[in-house]
């Protein structure tokens, strides 16, 4: 087994190989003057079980091309099996036709990864679980709920907490976390007027006097989360924290979170944190390296991955 990394999240890859007690594979990913990407694998991978760690985070298209070219390089170097480990699958929000004459980009990206030569895909908290069906190769969608629930148990008063879904679409995810914590569940009912903006309408559930935990898969602009925190506090919540898997945090999101009524935002390192995120006073990052490392180890050994979440 050998593990390689693109440029999107080298720090996570280094933590994964530390867990696996392996060296990080040697590869060069560089650009020509016109930004064309060139990849060179600098060690023998013939007959090896190869894992490539690469999130499609900002700049998403560059990192996606890096992944595709690395897969092609491994295939042409006669790797026995190639697994694309994509902790953050960036095109997952485009999983259906949202209107007339619009693409289903998640399916297109799945096709690209398959045609490049990947034999298997491993990802974390897909925006929509059915995206697994877009791939014509085996796909493991790992869940961060066990990881986040352990952190919540260490930092939150469970006797008086309530898990909150920031929208109706995230109820299944929130219910799974609430079940692990043996906590009650509430839902924020909101209406989105246009992309990137949301209006909180109503809170379904009694949050008065509770320590509320908002849970979601992606935080981008942060507007939805900040509006939800305001609405929960207005309904009498004692405190509001948020646990989000993928911290995209684009534009002025970090400043928005720092100025919000959120006591704390906890994200994972599926996307490499920026300097602004690391320095933010109310944002904390938890590592997915052990979870991904264990899943990689079990995949290489042909053992069950789903039992990680029993």
| Binding-site entries | 34-36, 93-94, 127, 167, 192, 216, 220-224
Whether the CB-CB separation of 269 and 285 falls below 8 Å is answered with yes
With contact defined as beta carbons under 8 Å apart, do 38 and 31 qualify?
A: yes
Annotated binding-site ranges for ATP: 34-36, 93-94
In 3D space, the residue among 219, 225, 241 whose CA is nearest the CA of residue 155 turns out to be 241
**Residue positions forming the annotated binding site for Mg(2+):** 127, 167
9, 55 Cβ separation under 8 angstroms: yes
Which residue of the set 18, 97, 107, 190 is catalytic?
Answer: 190
Beta strands in 166-307 (DSSP E): 184-194, 197-204, 211-219, 239-247, 264-268, 283-286
Q: In whole angstroms, what is the distance from residue 52 CA to residue 305 CA?
A: 18
Catalytic residue at 275? no
d(C-alpha 221, C-alpha 132), whole Å: 26
The helix (run of H) or strand (run of E) holding residue 53 is strand 49-53
Catalytic residues: 190
């Amino acid at each position: 087994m050998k593990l390689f990394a693109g440029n999107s999240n080298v720090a996570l890859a280094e933590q994964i190989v530390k867990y696996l007690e392996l060296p990080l594979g040697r590869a060069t990913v560089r650009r020509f003057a016109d930004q064309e990407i060139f990849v060179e694998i600098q060690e023998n991978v013939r007959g090896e079980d190869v894992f490539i760690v690469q999130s499609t985070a900002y700049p998403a298209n560059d990192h996606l091309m890096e992944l595709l070219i690395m897969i092609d390089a491994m295939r042409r170097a006669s790797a026995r099996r190639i697994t694309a480990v994509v902790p953050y699958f960036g095109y997952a929000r485009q999983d259906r036709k949202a209107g007339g004459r619009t693409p289903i980009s998640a399916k297109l990206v799945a096709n690209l990864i398959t045609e490049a030569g990947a034999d298997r895909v491993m990802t974390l908290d897909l925006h929509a679980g059915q995206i697994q069906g877009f791939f014509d190769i085996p796909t493991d969608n790992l869940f961060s709920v066990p990881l986040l629930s352990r952190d919540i148990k260490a930092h939150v008063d469970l006797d008086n907490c309530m898990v909150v879904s920031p929208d109706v679409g995230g109820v299944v995810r929130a219910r799974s976390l609430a079940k692990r914590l043996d906590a009650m569940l509430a839902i924020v009912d909101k209406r989105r007027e246009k992309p990137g903006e949301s209006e909180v309408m109503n809170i379904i559930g009694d949050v008065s006097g509770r320590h509320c935990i908002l849970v979601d898969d992606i935080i981008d602009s942060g507007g939805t989360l900040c509006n939800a925190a305001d609405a929960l506090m207005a309904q009498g919540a004692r405190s509001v924290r948020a646990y989000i898997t993928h911290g995209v945090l684009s534009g002025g999101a970090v400043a928005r979170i720092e100025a919000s009524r959120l006591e704390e935002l906890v994200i994972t390192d599926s996307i490499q944190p920026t300097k602004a995120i690391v320095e933010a006073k109310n944002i904390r990052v938890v590592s997915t390296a052990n979870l991904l490392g264990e899943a990689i180890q079990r995949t290489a050994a042909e053992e069950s991955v789903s039992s990680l979440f029993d």
